[in-house]
Amino acid sequence: MSFFLYLFFGLVGLLLLLFAWSVRNPRRPVTSPFGADVLEEDEPGHLAYLPQIQQALAKTDYEFLAGRVPIRVQRRVRHERRSVALAYLSALRGDFQSLLRMARVIAVLSPEVAAVQEFERLRLSIKFAWQYEMLRMKLLAGFAAAPQLMSLSDLVSGLSARMESAMQELGERAALAKELSSSLGRRGMGAA
C-alpha cells in the first residue's frame, strides 16, 4: 500500500511541477546566433548590411563551394546563410514598422495631412507586406532572392528619406513658430 501512496504523491508532485512550469512568465528575450538584434546596431541601418546579405545569397558563392567542400557542409552553409537572410528580413520589417509609427506621429503633428497621404501610407504598407511575405517564402523554400531583397530594402529606404524630410519640415515649422511667438512676446513687453 505504501508503494502506491508514494507513486500517487510522486505523480501529484510531477503534475504540480508541470503546471508551475506551464504558467511561468516566458517573456524573457529570445536570442539566436543569427537574431535580428545583431542587425540592429547603431545608425547605418539595413543598408549597411545589404551588400553582405546579397553576397551570401549569390549563386557564385554556392558554385565556388560546390567543388571544394562536402555536400554536408554545403547544406549547412545554405541553411546558415538562409537564417542570416531571414534575420535581415525581420530587421527590415522592424525598420519599416518603426517608420510607419513615425509617419503616424508626423501625421498627427502636421495639420495638412490629407487623405491622399494616408492612402499612400496604406498602399506602402500593403506593398511591403506582399513583397515581404513573397521574399520570406522564397528564402524558406531555399531560393536565393537577392533582387527582391534589394527592392524591399529600397522601399524602406525611400520611406526613411521621406520621414527625414517630413521631420526636417516639422522642425523648421516649430522653429518658425517659436521665433514668431518670441517676437510677438517682445513686442508685447515693449508696449507695456
CA distance 149 to 54: 8
pLDDT of 116: 58
Domain boundaries, the chain: 35-191
Map grid coordinates 541601418 to a residue: 45
pLDDT of 23: 62
How would you write the pLDDT of the chain (192 residues) with one tens digit per residue?
A: 688 888 888 888 877 776 666 666 555 544 444 344 433 444 446 667 778 887 777 788 778 888 888 889 888 988 888 888 888 888 888 888 888 888 777 777 766 655 556 777 788 888 888 888 888 888 888 776 777 878 888 888 887 777 777 777 777 777 777 777 777 666 655 555
CA distance 129 to 133: 6
CA distance 171 to 162: 14
pLDDT of 161: 78
Q: What is the pLDDT of residues 51-105, one digit of tens each?
A: 888 777 778 877 888 888 888 988 898 888 888 888 888 888 888 888 888 877 7
